[in-house]
Amino acid sequence: MALITPELKEQMAKVGVLHLATASKAGVPNVAPMGAVLVEDDKVLIANNFMNKTMANILENPQVSVLVWSRDIGNCFQLKGTAEIMKDTEEHQKMRDMLEAKKPGAYPCHDLVVISVKEIFTCMPGANAGNKIA
């Protein structure tokens, strides 16, 4: 059974900009907004257009978290998983094509960050805040 349900995938698309949290090997955190995102099965694909600190952190420590929140969706959840950097793959080309169609020449898509989602947690306030949902 897929962790990222069709409903969660729809909410991720509606939010548009997700927040990717990383940490260096020494534990120095970084969080950055990500707009060039595709979701396929239980993987979140993010284009590396301008991610200097994020990429350095992933190379040192591939454990990442993605926050999905917007008042518009009435939900807040956190995906946790392992990131891998890919280049010259079918997925990388798919992302490049999507970005080029969106705004020609604007996004370099140097690499692709592929996050294999392992767990999903709610971050909605209330008695279930922080509970694992998948």
Q: Which domains does the chain have, with CATH numbers?
A: 6-122 (2.30.110.10)
pTM of the model: 0.94
**Residues 39-75 pLDDT 10s:** 999 999 999 999 999 999 999 999 999 999 999 999 9
DSSP classification of residue 128: T
What's the average pLDDT block by block, 10 residues per block, for the chain (134 residues)?
Answer: 92 96 97 96 96 97 97 95 97 95 94 98 95 96
- Cα 108 versus chain centre, distance: 18
DSSP string, 73-122: TTEEEEEEEEEEEE-SSHHHHHHHHHHHHHSTTT----EEEEEEEEEEEE
